[in-house]
Amino acid sequence: MAANNDRAPRRRVDARSSIERITAAGRTVLGKGEGSLEQIAAEAGVGIATLYRHFPNREAVVRAVLEDILDTDLIPLVERAAHSPHTRQALQEIATRLLDLITEERGLVTFASNFADVAVDVLQRFSASLHPLLARAQQAGEIRPDLTAEDIPHFLVMAVAGLALPGTTPSLRARFITLLFDSLNPVGATTLPPSHTGEDDLRTAVGNVTRA
């Protein structure tokens, strides 16, 4: 009986290891551009049946890769920014890193047929992590007070649409992300009109970016 009990934890460890390898392989393959599930399985060193056992479709792979990007590249920046004395500058640096990552992981956008549905969930989780920083920046007078937490994902999508296009150089992105963040400066700002957007509007916006 003990031997049977030992197998279950081992299977969970093996499954976790396979998931981690496949996710890492997804980043590697899709970071180079177009790819296939077969290429990802080969890069991960697993059979295609193992890949399908954990990731039944392309969208599942994209979701795992996006979550990995969020957890390993973006959330640590947000956590470090919590101690920054210049919150708006920290938010700007996070947005710049996000644009760099989208450019680097260019194959993700075209890999999933419904990228917008997958990306919206991850983008909203990312935006939720930024809420405390936004509140701090507003309290410090660094960001206009009428910007809401719900505006953040739309603001990021707008930045992606204009600043993560193929051929946009890092220096050009840095120049225009600075201009974009200057629009959040509370000094002399015109009061924002009311917003009536929701999750469906964000999904449509992301979908339009992927078709651009």
Instruction: Based on the fold, state whether residues 19 and 83 are members of the same structural domain.
Output: no
Does residue 68 register a pLDDT over 50?
yes
Residues 45 and 66 in one domain: no
Query: Does residue 36 share a domain with residue 10?
Result: yes
Question: Is the same domain home to 10 and 85?
Answer: no
170 near 122, Cβ under 8 Å?
no
Token pair listed for 73:
């590249």
CA angle, corner 131, sides to 130 and 133, nearest 5? Answer: 65
User: Do residues 27 and 79 share a domain?
Assistant: no
Residues 71 and 153 in one domain: yes
Residue 145 CA to residue 184 CA, distance in Å, equals 9
CATH code, domain carrying 180 = 1.10.357.10
Residues 6+ apart with CB under 8 A from 16: none
Q: Are residues 67 and 42 in the same domain?
A: no
Residues with Cβ within 8 Å of residue 59, at least 6 apart in sequence: 112, 113, 114, 117, 118
Q: Is 167 left (phi over 0), alpha (psi -120 to 50) or beta?
A: left
Taking Cα atoms as reference points, which of 74, 118, 126, 129 lies closest to residue 210? 118
For residue 39, the one-letter residue type is Q
pTM of the predicted structure, to 2 decimals? 0.76
| Contact (CB, 8 A) for 76 and 56 | no
Domain hosting residue 2, numbered range: 1-56
**141 vs 210, which has greater pLDDT?**
141
Q: Residues 168, 194: one domain?
A: yes
Predicted confidence band of residue 1 (pLDDT cuts 50, 70, 90) = very low
Spatial separation of the C-alpha atoms in residues 63 and 13, rounded to whole Å: 21
Is the domain of 51 the same as that of 106?
A: no
92 Cβ neighbours under 8 A, 6+ residues apart: 177, 178, 181
> What mean pLDDT comes out for the span 15-25?
89
- Which pLDDT belongs to residue 7? 56
Q: What is the pLDDT of residue 9?
A: 57
Task: Count structural domains, the chain.
Answer: 2
pLDDT in tens, 150-197: 788 777 777 777 766 666 777 877 888 888 888 888 887 778 777 665
pLDDT of 212 > 70? The answer is no
Taking alpha carbons only, the member of 52, 62, 36 closest to residue 115 is 62
Residues 25 and 92 in one domain: no
Q: How far apart are CA 121 and CA 163, in angstroms?
A: 21
Q: Do 46 and 100 have their domain in common?
A: no
- Say yes or no: 164 and 196 in one domain: yes
Least confident of 6-15, 22-31, 50-59, 114-123: 6-15
Q: Which of 54, 69, 128, 143 is nearest to 101 (CA)?
A: 69
What integer pLDDT is reported at residue 199 of this predicted model? 59
CA 103 – CA 144 distance, rounded (Å)? 29
The whole-number average pLDDT for the span 66-81 is: 92
pLDDT (tens digit per residue) in 81-123:
888 888 888 888 888 888 788 777 778 878 888 777 888 888 8
pLDDT of residue 3 exceeding 60: no
CATH number, residue 51: 1.10.10
pLDDT exceeding 90 applies to what percent of the chain?
26
